[in-house]
Every structure is written in structure tokens, then in C-alpha cells.
Amino acid sequence: MVSRKGSSDTRAIVCILTDRFKVSNNWVSHLSFVTILGVAGFVLALKDSRFRNLRLFSATEKDDAFLVPGLQNLGNNCFLNVILQALASCKDFRSFLEWVIEDARDTVTSELDQHFPLTFALSALLQVGRRRSVSNPREVMLALTDYARNFNLTSQQDAAEALLHLISSLQQEIVFCYRPLQSSNLSDILFSRNLRMLAPSEGLHGLMELKRWHQHLRGPFDGILGSTLMCRTCSSQISLEFQFFHTLPLSPLPHSGGSNIMFGCTLESCLKKFLDTEKVENFFCHRCWHGAALKYLSVIGAAETDIEKLRSCGGDDQCDCKTSLVLERMPWSNSYSHILKQLIISRFPKLLCIQVQRASFNMYGESFKLTGHIAFPLVLDLSLFAPSPIGLNEEEGIQMSSKYQKASRNSGDNLYRLVTVVEHFGITGSGHYTVYRSVRVASQEEGEEECEELRWFSISDSEVSRVSESDVLGAEASLLFYERV
């Protein structure tokens, strides 16, 4: 996927390719302008120093007999190809698709692939094994188009947005067989407990059906993010909200006024910034106001009935104490309250996708891309980002955080292994996507036990190359996929 504006290099490459292919009419008949641009984008990516001296994958090499197929670019769909390669490297996602298909066989008796076209297309495409060196994503694109009709898969798109559309489309497809008793409204499906399958078994299997429904809807990318709002002045919790997430959007630390990311920026520092407590300005704390109002009425010698009415008020945002007790003139400033907001990862997903938000805007409202490297680990320990309750003092918070980290390390639930890195070349809104993906290959030396070897590949559509871990860790990541250990 290459910018239409392009550079002089892009135009030159397109001209050369066009001239070369004019030699044969047969080649010209099968070559679209979009294909030329795709090749040009790959050539530009190769010009980057990180892509030099890469060894192109060869099926004839004995060491590389375990094939990692490339994907055809059918017209500006490199953004989808990198997502499909990422999903292929996620064992838990492939297992999830297989589980859905097997479970659906007990529900839908005929034409299973017609009821689950996207699930079947993905499962077939993402199979790991010895297969041809280039696969065609056409079936997945056709199935995805039925659900995401307003998302053009043959024009330049954002890879993170493509992932969200794909996950959402899968959920829509799976919900076909799992609905509430009286309503098919999606909000009811998400939150109702009165759920049942369209073709359920009777009797004691009801709870099993409900459990199976929840397993279906809670896919491997589903996590829960909690948001708490608390007043440190009166130690009251104002709100506690939860929302599902499929990706974590992290903002890198930029140089002041520049388009480069701050030197030494790490994924851990971005996560810490995302989850850190922040002060909320000019927020009205009703409990603080009621406490101040009680003191005010006592000072001015108000009637005891008014004081008692105020004291018995619940202090929510629907009360009319300010107007009924003539307290509009009471001196008050929202700065008297110290309101803090904090995000907490309440439920960790099996597969953690982190989106590095490189798109930014200057003072004139013009978009630009933040360039530069963000250091990321091969193994990410999320127990280091334990929630520190903002209602506690610093010492209590440190003690609770330490206990949480110790429990998490013992369980191992919060250790994640890097499986895929997506990289973008170009400017905001246009360019070319490539991907680094890992594959675990069983290997056995003579006289030794069989073990798994981790191999990394760099993939640009149909082109596949073997690379080292250092090449992967040097990428300017746009998306990072981690799998729970």
C-alpha cells in the first residue's frame, strides 16, 4: 500500500515497472496499476536499512522446510494481510476458531460453512504447516465484506481498525447461534443473564449452555478495562465503570514540538503513562459540597430542620439541596476537591494487542506521523503494572501493589510472550505495512529429545524472509501482539 502522493522514488519505480511489463502483452493483461503500486511500496520498504541484507525465504532450503506462506496483495490490502499474519502466529486464536467450529457442529446440523463463513475462511487460511509459499486471502475478504460493508478492503486503511472490524464481525457471526430468550438486541446479548441457544438441549445442560455462550463471546482478545473516579479530599468513590477492550492504545512520548519519539521511550513507560493516576480539573464533588454546606449552615445559624435535611441527603447529583435550602450564594470552588481518575486492567486477555498511536496533530490541525523507535520486550510482565488504589495512602498502596505483583508472578497469568510486530512505512493515512511474525518449530538433534525452536520471519505481502530477534526488536512498531504464557 503506497501513498498516492508518493515520492520521486515511487514514481520512478512505477515507470520502470510499467516499461518492463510492456514487453509482454500477456504480463500486461494480468498486471493492474494497484499491483504496480504494491510492488513499488515493497521496494521502498526494502530501501529502509532494516530491510537490507535479508535472506529471502526458500522452500528448497532444508533448514526452512517449515513453510510460512506469504499472502497475495489483491489491491491495497496489505493492512489486512499483516493482521492475518499476526493472527496466524497466535496459537490461542487458531484454537478459538477450531473450538467454535467443533462446538457449532452440535448446534447447526447442515451447511455449517454457510452459517460461519468468516470463521471457516479464517481457520482454513491460518493453518500452520507445510503448504504453498503464497496464500490467497480472497475468501476471508469476501466473508468480512458481508459484515463490514462500509469498510473498503481494497483501499488504504488502518491495520488496527481492520483488526477491530474482524473481531467484531466474528462476534456477530458467532452470536447467530447464541441469543437471549426474548430479544436479539446486541446489548441484551452482551449483558443479559437470561440466555439460551437457538437449538438448546433441555434439562441439566442449561448452565453448560450459558457457560459455552460466554466462552464464545469472550474471545481471546477480550479484556476488561476499569475506570475509577475518586475524591481524595473526602475519600469517596464517585464512579466505577468497566468496558471491554480488544486493543490497548498507547501514546508514545514525543520530543517537545517535534515529530520524533523521545529517545529511550519504552513500551513499559507508555503503559505506565496509560495507567497512571491523573487529576481531573473542575469536577464538582457532591459529597465535598454537602460537607461544606453543613458547615456553612451551622455558621450562619440556619434552622435545625434545614441542617437535618441536608445531613440526611444522599448527596447524589440529582438532589435539590442547593436550590431548596437557598445555598446558591455559598462560597464554593471546584478546586476544593482533589479528583483523581485511574484506569485499571481488570481482566487480562489471552492475546494482548497494543496499538502504538503514531498519528498526531500539529498546532494547525494538520496530521503527521510520529517516527522513532520504542523499545519493547520479548516477554512482558504485566504484574509490574498492578493497580494502586487511589483511595489509599502511599504506603498502603505500595503494600497492596507488592502483594498483587507477588500473587501474579506466582500464578503466571500476567506474563506475555511477543508473537508479532506490525510496522508501517509511509505517512499518516498512506504507506505500506509489513509484519514480523514468530513460528514455533519442533526440532530434534540426533540423540536428543525433541524441543521447540522459535523462528522469526519478516513478511511483506507475498515476500517472506528469515530474520533474527535483533531485527524484530529494532522495528518501529505500530502494533504489538503478545500471547499469555
What is the residue-wise DSSP string for 174-197?
HHTTEEESS---HHHHHH-S-EEE
Q: Which three cell numbers stand for residue 8?
A: 520521486
Ramachandran angles phi, psi of 396, nearest 5°: -65, -40
Active site residue 78: yes
Residue type present at position 39: V
- In whole angstroms, what is the distance from residue 271 CA to residue 17 CA? 44
Q: Which one from 216, 246, 286, 432 is the annotated catalytic residue?
A: 432
Separation between Cα atoms, residue 454 and residue 439, nearest integer Å: 6
16-25, long-range: CB within 8 Å, 24+ apart, which pairs? none
Any catalytic annotation for residue 286? Answer: no
Which contacts of 385-389 are long-range, i.e. CB under 8 A and separated by 24 or more positions?
Answer: 385/271, 385/272, 385/275, 385/345, 387/275, 387/342, 387/344, 387/345, 388/277, 388/342
Nearest CA to 220 among 252, 174, 275?
Answer: 174
- 188: cell is 441484551
Tell me the β-bridge partners of 339.
231, 280
Residues 6+ away with beta carbon under 8 Å from 97: 119, 122, 123, 126
Catalytic choice (78, 231, 234, 265): 78
Strands 195-197 and 223-231: unpaired
Q: In whole angstroms, what is the distance from residue 45 CA to residue 431 CA?
A: 9
The cell numbers describing 109, all together, are: 446440523
Sheet strands (E) in 108-173: 134-135
The x, y and z cell numbers of residue 345, run together, are 486492567
* Active site residues per annotation: 78, 432
